[in-house]
């Protein structure tokens, strides 16, 4: 697993992460929304590739200065990578890095309802109301180790 700033991403990596996000979030989950949200440029991007160098796990985080908050976003695994522990490894690695870089910042994410138990096992708790995001119900979560 490795991470890069937007400026460090190669064209192929940027294409691969956009393709994976589109394949899962828009096509597989049938959620019509604008995935390219102008936040990639300020994010740190985490990626894991398979032995054939295909992107199979991805997430990003970004610091929201005005809120003193770090948001984990766009957590996605390719279908063939699910159930192998890559999601847990991805989030744990990101949490460690975020806490080193921003030790006092609140860490949040927006979870699809079906994934909220996964995040709870990693130390997140739900906050706020359940809401519809692109036709999929989500809930806010905050890291409370």
Residue 105: half-sphere exposure toward Cβ, Cα within 13 Å: 22
Question: Could you tell me the residue range of the domain that residue 93 belongs to?
Answer: 2-105
Q: Is residue 139 part of a domain?
A: no
Percent with pLDDT over 70 in the chain: 100
Contact 43, 73 (CB under 8 A): yes
Residues 109-120 have pLDDT tens digits of 999 999 999 999
Look up the CATH number of the domain holding residue 36: 3.40.630.30
This prediction has a pTM of 0.94
Per-residue pLDDT band at 68 (split at 50, 70, 90): confident
Euclidean distance between the first and the last CA atom of the chain, given in angstroms as a whole number: 23
Backbone angles phi, psi at 82, to 5 degrees: -75, 145
Per the domain annotation, does 111 fall within a domain?
no
């Amino acid at each position: 697993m490795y991470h890069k700033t937007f400026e460090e991403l190669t064209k192929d990596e940027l294409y691969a992460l956009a393709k994976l996000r589109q394949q899962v979030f828009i096509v597989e989950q049938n959620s019509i929304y604008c995935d390219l949200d102008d936040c990639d440029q300020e994010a740190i991007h985490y990626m894991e590739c398979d032995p054939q160098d295909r992107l199979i796990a991805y997430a990003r985080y970004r610091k929201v200065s005005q809120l003193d908050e770090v948001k984990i976003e766009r957590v996605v695994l390719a279908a063939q990578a699910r159930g192998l522990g890559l999601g847990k490894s991805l989030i744990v690695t990101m949490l460690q890095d975020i806490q080193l870089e921003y030790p006092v910042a609140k860490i949040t994410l927006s979870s699809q309802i079906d994934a909220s138990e996964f995040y709870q096992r990693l130390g997140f708790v739900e906050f706020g109301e359940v809401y519809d995001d692109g036709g999929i119900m989500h809930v806010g979560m905050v890291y409370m180790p």
